[in-house]
Structure formats: structure tokens, C-alpha cells
Amino acid sequence: MSSSQYNYDEDGETWPYFVLTLLAVVLVPYTYTTVKSLLFSEKDATKRAHAIEVDYTPANAAQIRSFRVATQAKKLLSTRLLVLAVGWGLFAYLVLILKENTHTNAFDPYAILEVSLSATEKEVKSRYRKLSLKFHPDKIANDVLAEVKQSMEEMFIKINQAYKALTDEDTKKNYELYGHPDGPQERLMGIALPKFLIEGAYSPLLVVLYFIVIVGVLPYVVGRWWTNVQMYTKKGIHVETATFFVTKFVNLNPANMVTPFTIIEWLSYATEFKLQCPDLTPKQIEQHILDHLYRRVTADERSKLEIVSILPTLINALLDISATFRNSEISLLLIDLNRYITQALVPGGRYAQLLQLPYVDPKVVTSQLVKTLGKLLTLSEEKIGEALGIKDAAQLKTAIQVASEIPLLKIVDAKFTVPGETVVTSNSTAYLEMRVLVKSAKHTFKGGKLPVLKKEKLASMDAEAAKFENLKDPMSLADQQPELPAAYAPWFPQAVSSGWMVCPLLQSDAKLAEPPTFVNKLDLSNLELTSEEITTADNEKLQVGLIKVKLIAPTPGTTGQFQFRIIVKNIAYFGADLDFPIIMTVEEPPAEYIEEKIYEIEDPDEDSLAGAMALFRGERVKRVESSDDSDESDFDDDKNDGSDFTDINTDTEDEK
């Protein structure tokens, strides 16, 4: 019959383990995610291979540096880290409690007698005699405190048990089997809480603590989490901001032209700015954005940097909404605006490729004829300095370095593919596959044509893509490429991601066929090659990159040719874009492929339910032969049997 009495942790031996376990379950994953977000975000991006690192300081460099330090400090002093600090502090305190706890069930005779594990029986006896004389109850002085006397008596009992465990055969056997000289110990099941918390004067305090956690803390945490989920979209913007952006597209008048400055006005009404800078009006926020684009250092530089740092998130969310409406003009405009903000350039200029370089003089640049990086780097160093308005040799060298390290793309091959198929079939999940050559503006090709790549290189890429593991995960080859470094953006207050947005458009209506897809993995090692090396077809160092995009919509349900326009825009740099037409040819699978029984599934019998359904759909069935047909067939088989026994003459002389 079970007892109604509970056993509690009277000596505090068990409850620290229970609390430690709970803390470890919460703290370990929480710490991992926090440390990862702090250490491997911006710093990791800026230290990747081929990151542009030059000695250039913009006019507001001190304010940008201060803003970055404050942003990092804000992360370090967040509530998240405060919870971690308290949690690990409590964890360390509990470890100390367990370490200092003398009440332990472990019995170690060697430690009690203070002898080594290799001690002989003679050494054990010698040590036992010395300790017995020291802790024997008869040797204890009368003036010793009761607590000291009790501890010495307990120690004497342990010494005897330890001695027997090492010398007496029966006791030694008990120790080896059960870990204690007295044999199996009593095992108690109870509650890992001290008894005084439950039945003592502190029991009401524990009830109050339970009440606070269940009624107060838990609803607050869940409620705050739910509020944040409800207040922000998957793109990380406030729902009021998203509603405002959607309203702008719903009420968009086609007669009114949308410019980058129109979009800046939309952005200035975002709820994020009201929460971040409650004292500023939308007009003041818009002015701060314009000050950034014109590279003006203002009195309230801190507010300007805070506003600018939020813009990429808002633009990305607005791009997602624009893609939902299939608006290609505004979508492309948003990508352009993002890099204007990244490089702190006024929208609409034709000299953006040169103005994104450091140390340039805008007045000189806009008064001459060179507009592209490729054309610029064909000039002599002296002419480049004149075109950029740079007279200092060191500054000119820095500008040329940045111009030559901006990755440009050249298309090698582009096609639509369906994994596992030789052609693009109808109603299939297709991929846009682009093979590109990453080059520098300093690389020049004769006649503007790409180098003739070795057929073996392209064939090996096709063979690699046809492997089973890559067919199983069609994006694996593209994902294996190195991640791009952070963009060179000295005027932007934070580290900026670099990469390309792939925008497929339908030629029929010039609208987006698919939402823009961000690509941030590509091998940039070609930037290290010289013009001679990159134009050599048999150069093993030459890398052909892969940009692969999964199309959300299935291929058309009918066969035919469908014309697309592919626009690939860099989100951080000017001059690194692609724009080319492509045709999707939807075909029926080859006849031999249709007839091939890949899975060796036989046609159903015509007299079965599956056969009846197949006949109804016009599919093939297996004819079931009647008994007469079967007999006739057996007779024919016997007659045509080509066995070794057919040549034997079975006629007898009587038959003749």
C-alpha cells in the first residue's frame, strides 16, 4: 500500500541537480543562438574572400564608427544577454553548492584511508591503525564540542568500513558489487525540493512564487511573443507599414510616374521611423534620407544614420509587395534605389558607375564622356585620374583598385531545365540555370567576345548536374559556391550584403513572371586573373559560376515557345548587371521515354476494377485470355517447342 507521505530533499543533495538540468536545457541553445548572431554576422561578411578593403574615410567616418560601436553595444546590453548573464550566474552558483556539499552517497575506501589505488594490504593496515588512533571515540577529549565529537565518531565508522572493504572478503565483495561495504543501499524516491519549502514557514512563499510565474510571468512572455508575431510580417516590417505599402499599390494611378523620390516619400511614412525617432515628422525623415544621398553631414547625424540603417529592410519588404502585384517597373526601381542608398548617390545619374568609387570629384566626373568602369580601365592611369578628378597618386591607386575588384558578370549559357528530364515538359517544376563568367572591369576580350571555353569544362558541369544527388537536390551545386563578401559601402552605417537579384519578366506583357530571387553565392576567384589568363580557354584557374533559380509557377500546360526577359541586378554595385532574352520551349517527353517502363509496373488486367478505370481513361490494359484460347496457345507452344527432344523418332514399326 502506497504511503501518503512524501520524501523531501532534507540535506539539499538532489534539488541542485534538478535545477541545473533545467538551466542547461534552456541556456545551452539560447547561448548558442545569441553568440552566433553576435559573432558571425557583419564581421564574418566583411572578412570573406575578395572583400574590398581600402583606406578611405568618408566625411562622416567618425559618426559612422560611433554608430556601429553603439549598435554593437546595444546588442551586448540587450535583455537577451541580461537573461543569459543571470542564468549562467545561477548555474555557476549551483555548481559551487554541489562542489562544497559534503553529504555524498559515494563511498571511496581509498580516499577515506588516504591511500593510493595500488596500496598493498600491509600499507592499508598501517594507515588504518594510525587513523583509528586519531579518531577513536576513547581518544576524544572531553572539552571538544558536540558537533566535532559527532563528526569524529562518524569518521571512525567510515574508517572501519573502508578497512573492511579492502581487507575482509565478504565486505570487499559487497563493495565491488554495490559500491558500499554494507551491500545494497536503500533507494528513496521523492521530491527534489527541501522540506522546509513545502511544510515549513516558507511554504506560502513557494505558493506565491508559483502564482507569480503561472499568472504573471508566463502570460507576459507568451503575450509579448504573440504581440510581436502579430505586429511584424515575415519580412520583418511592422504590419502598419506593410498595410500602408499595399494601399499605395492598390491606389496606384498608372498615369502618375513613380520615381525614386516617390518611393523615398513612401518610405518616410513607415511605422518603424515613428518608433525609432518619435520626434521626427515624415518630412524630416525624408530630408534625412536625401541628406544621405547627397552625402551631406548634418547636425543630427545620429538620427540620419539610424534612419538610413533601416531602409534596406523596408525596401526589401516593398519589393516583395511589388512582386505580388507583378509590377516590374517599380520592382527594378526599388533595386536601383537600394544601391543608390548603399553607395550614397543621388538617383538618376548616368555616372553612377564612376561616382561609387572613392575620392572622385563629382563635378569633374559628370563633365566628361566616360561613364562605365570597363571604358574607364581601358585608359591610361593619367587619363583615369583626369576622368575621375583625382590628382593624388595614392588616392588614384585606391580608386582603380576598387574599380577592378567590383565583380561584373558575362553570360556564358542560359536555359530552362527540369531535373531528370531531357526537355522542358508541361506542368513541371522548372529551374532557370545561368552559367556566368565573373570578371573584372580590367579584363578585356578581343572583339568584346567571351573566350572559347573548353568543351570538357562545360561537359563536366553537365555531368555533375546529372548525378543522382544533384538531381535529388537541384540547388546543391549552386549552394556549394562560396558566399559573397560584404559590399564596399563606406558611406553606409552598417555592413551591407552583396549579391544579385534575378528578375524574370514575360515578354508578352513586360511584367514579372516570378518574384525577384536573391543570389549571394558565387566564386569570385576570376578577379585575381590577368586579362591574358581569363582569355585562355585551357586555363584551369578559370571558373564558370552557376546562378540557379527555382521557378515558383509550373511550366505552361501547353507545348510551345514562351519568351522571357531576364534582368539580373546587383543590389550594391552599379555596372554589374545582366539583361538578356531567353525562350522557354515546352515539349512533350520523347516517345521512347514515354514507352519505357521505368518502374516496371504492368498494365492492369482488363477484367479487374483497375483495368475498367484504365479503359475509361483510354489507357492500356492487359488482355485476359479465355480457357479455349489458353488451350490453343498451349497446343501451339508444344508444336513449336524447340527442345532437344523433338528430333527423337517416336513412331513404332507397328504404326508403319
Domain CATH number, residue 561 = 2.60.40.150
Residue 183 lies in a domain: no
Alpha carbon distance 296, 298 (integer Å): 6
Residue entry with cell 567510515? 158
The confidence score (pLDDT) of residue 22 equals: 82
79 with 165, same domain? no
- One domain, residues 439 and 539: yes
Lowest model confidence (mean pLDDT) among 21-30, 307-316, 630-639: 630-639
Residues 417 and 527 grouped into a single domain: yes
Q: Is residue 171 part of a domain?
A: yes
Tell me what the pLDDT averaged over the chain comes to.
82
Query: Is 553 inside any structural domain?
Result: yes
Q: CATH code at 138?
A: 1.10.287.110
Residue 631 has a pLDDT of 45
3-class SS of residue 24: helix
Number of domains in the chain: 5
pLDDT digits (tens, 9 = 90+) for 363-380: 999 999 999 999 999 999
The band of 243, judged by pLDDT with boundaries at 50, 70 and 90, is very high
- Mean pLDDT over 504-508 rounds to 95
pLDDT digits 0-9 by tens, 194-219: 555 666 566 677 678 778 878 887 78
Same domain? For 553 and 456 the reply is yes
Range of the domain at 207: 201-230
Same domain, 427 and 569: yes
**DSSP string computed for 338-392:** HHHHHHT--TT-TTHHHHTSTT--HHHHTTSS--SHHHHTTS-HHHHHHHHT---
Give the pLDDT band (50/70/90) at residue 111: confident
Say if strands 545-550 and 431-439 run parallel, antiparallel, or are unpaired. antiparallel
Q: Where are the alpha helices (DSSP H) in 366-522?
A: 373-376, 381-388, 393-405, 455-465, 468-472, 476-479
- Residue 243: CB partners within 8 Å, gap ≥ 6? none
Residue 537 has pLDDT above 70, yes or no: no
| Cell (9 digits) for 501 | 537579384
Give residue 50's identity as a one-letter amino acid code. Answer: H
The answer to whether position 36 is within a domain reads: yes
- Of the chain, the end-to-end C-alpha distance in Å amounts to 102
The pLDDT confidence band at residue 96, using thresholds 50, 70 and 90, is confident
Indicate whether 91 and 113 sit together in one domain: no
Residues 470 and 571 in one domain: yes
Residues 507 and 629 in one domain: no
SS3 letters for 111-177?
HHHCCCCCCCHHHHHHHHHHHHHHHCHHHCCCCCCHHHHHHHHHHHHHHHHHHHHHHCHHHHHHHHH
567 is a domain residue: yes
Q: Is the pLDDT of residue 3 over 50?
A: no
Same domain, residue pair 25 and 78: yes
Q: How confident is the model at residue 637 (pLDDT cuts 50, 70, 90)?
A: very low
Q: Is 484 helix (H, G, I), strand (E, B) or coil?
A: coil
Residue 258 inside a domain? The answer is: no
Q: What pLDDT score was predicted for residue 498?
A: 93
The DSSP symbol for 521 reads B
84 and 169 inside one domain: no
- Quote the pTM value: 0.72
Whether 426 and 553 share a structural domain: yes
Does residue 295 lie in a domain region?
no
Higher pLDDT: 20 or 505? It is: 505
Determine the pLDDT at residue 183: 66
Same domain assignment for residues 540 and 560: yes
